[in-house]
Amino acid sequence: MKCRVCREPAIIDVPRHNANFCAPHFLDMCRKQVIKAIDDFDMLTKDDRILVAVSGGKDSLAIWDMLIDLGYEADGLYIGLGIGSYSDVSGDYARAFAAERGLKLVEISLRDDYGYDIPTATRATRRVPCSACGMSKRHLFDKAALDGNYTALVTGHNLDDEAAVLYGNTLRWELPYLARQLPTLPARNGFPKKVKPLVRLSERETAAWCVVRGIDYLVDECPMAAGNRHLNYKDALNKIESQSPGTKTAFYLNFVDKVAPLLSAFALSDDLVLAPCTSCGAPTTGEVCAFCHLVTTASAHEPVPVELITGRGARRR
């Protein structure tokens, strides 16, 4: 295989673009896709104070690296979730990435700062692990961005993430969720601007970016995510994609372009009933927000090791 641009030997084939690339031109393709996402969806300006939510995995480290590479100034935010050795190792990768590049990494620890961790919250709430984890992260991302006077919160959601969420929400016709599934969510009362500059790149491409750029990241999957519905959706979409390259791109980007504008009324209607949480002040539909309820329930529970829930952990590669 030869690079589509320079005809030198290719290192990667990208079927959805019907193209192969050498390392330098693969990186160029990734940069162009991120720049196009930022421009098309009014995500960022060079004046933004950017906070990148960093997990130590490929997507968040790739987008932090790309933003710095493109001339943006961006700090990182790492949340210690307390998922046993998986969290220990993921934090090591995030810290190493920041230290090697002289970047600022803000850290929050669920256990030290809020008295619980994800395994304990899972047991205490008797819900699926990703429920407590997602709620905790969304709340703390927003809070850290607002408290730190950042003007934009960047997350590493990629094309596969967005296509899988869209697939799940479409199967159930979850209109309020569909209406909010946009690459840019403007700042509004109590929420920072949130952007997803990787929505035009697949996770195979973000992983390849890390390999080519020599970025060490946590390859192993979260032990608490195994078998979740989201992974099943990705598997289904990748089976379709392998038969019909470009399907995921068309599914997601055409939704954003053609369908999401028709659903805006559903997102706005949700805003009308938000009021400050009486405990923490975050916007909520109830008197006390879901995060404060979670903290109260989980912090009162005896700590639960992740192995009691999953029977396995993570290793550094």
Partner 1 sequence: MKVLLRNPRRELDIPGPRRVHALLNDLDLNRESHLVIRNGTLVPSDEELGADDVVEIRPVISGGSL
The window from 91-99, 144-152, 187-195, 213-221 that contacts partner 1 (CB under 8 A) reads 213-221
The window from 13-21, 29-37, 42-50, 143-151 that contacts partner 1 (CB under 8 A) reads 13-21
Binder of partner 1 out of 231, 250, 273, 300 (CB under 8 A): 231
The window from 8-16, 169-177, 252-260, 266-274 that contacts partner 1 (CB under 8 A) reads 8-16
75 counts as binding partner 1 under rule CB under 8 A = no
Q: Is 35 exposed, middle or buried (0-12, 13-18, 19+ CB in 10 A)?
A: middle
- Site mask for partner 1 (CB under 8 A), range 77-116, x = bound: ----------------------------------------
Per the CB < 8 A criterion, the answer to whether 174 and 243 are in contact is: no
133 counts as binding partner 1 under rule CB under 8 A = yes
Question: Residue 153 carries which side chain, given as an amino acid letter?
Answer: L
Beta carbon nearer to partner 1, 5 or 276? 5
Q: Can you tell me the distance from the alpha carbon of 77 to that of 147, in angstroms, rounded to the nearest whole number?
A: 12
**What letter would DSSP give residue 2?**
B
57 counts as binding partner 1 under rule CB under 8 A = yes
What angle in degrees, to the nearest 10, is found between the helix axes of 290-299 and 118-125? 100
139 counts as binding partner 1 under rule CB under 8 A = no
117 counts as binding partner 1 under rule CB under 8 A = no
Beta carbon nearer to partner 1, 195 or 222? 222
**Three-state SS at 158:** strand
Q: Can you tell me the distance from the alpha carbon of 270 to that of 97, in angstroms, rounded to the nearest whole number?
A: 38
Q: How many residues make up the chain in this entry?
A: 317
Please report, to the nearest 10 degrees, the dihedral formed by the alpha carbons of residues 79, 156, 50, 262 taken in order: -120
Q: Can you tell me the distance from the alpha carbon of 183 to that of 15, in angstroms, rounded to the nearest whole number?
A: 23
The two tokens of residue 262 are 């028709």
DSSP per residue over 175-226, as a string?
HHHHHH--SEE--BTTB--EE-TBTTS-HHHHHHHHHHHT-----SPPTTTT
137 counts as binding partner 1 under rule CB under 8 A = yes
224 counts as binding partner 1 under rule CB under 8 A = yes
Least distance from partner 1 to the Cβ atom of residue 207, Å: 4
Binder of partner 1 out of 221, 270, 271, 307 (CB under 8 A): 221
The two tokens of residue 248 are 């995921």
Beta carbon nearer to partner 1, 174 or 276? 174
241 counts as binding partner 1 under rule CB under 8 A = yes
Least distance from partner 1 to the Cβ atom of residue 134, Å: 3
The two tokens of residue 12 are 């990667």
The window from 99-107, 239-247, 263-271, 273-281 that contacts partner 1 (CB under 8 A) reads 239-247
The two tokens of residue 31 are 């940069």
Least distance from partner 1 to the Cβ atom of residue 128, Å: 9
Binder of partner 1 out of 208, 282, 292, 295 (CB under 8 A): 208
Binder of partner 1 out of 212, 259, 274, 288 (CB under 8 A): 212
Residues pairing with 79 in the sheet: 108
Q: Can you tell me the distance from the alpha carbon of 235 to that of 10, in angstroms, rounded to the nearest whole number?
A: 26
β-pairing, 184-185 with 194-195?
A: antiparallel
In the chain the first and final C-alpha atoms are separated, in Å, by 30
Per the CB < 8 A criterion, the answer to whether 200 and 139 are in contact is: no
Binder of partner 1 out of 48, 59, 65, 117 (CB under 8 A): 59
Q: Which residues bind partner 1 (CB under 8 A)?
A: 1, 10-13, 15, 20, 23, 57-59, 129-131, 133-135, 137, 157, 160-161, 164-165, 202-204, 206-208, 211-212, 219-222, 224-225, 228, 230-231, 234-235, 238-239, 241-242, 315
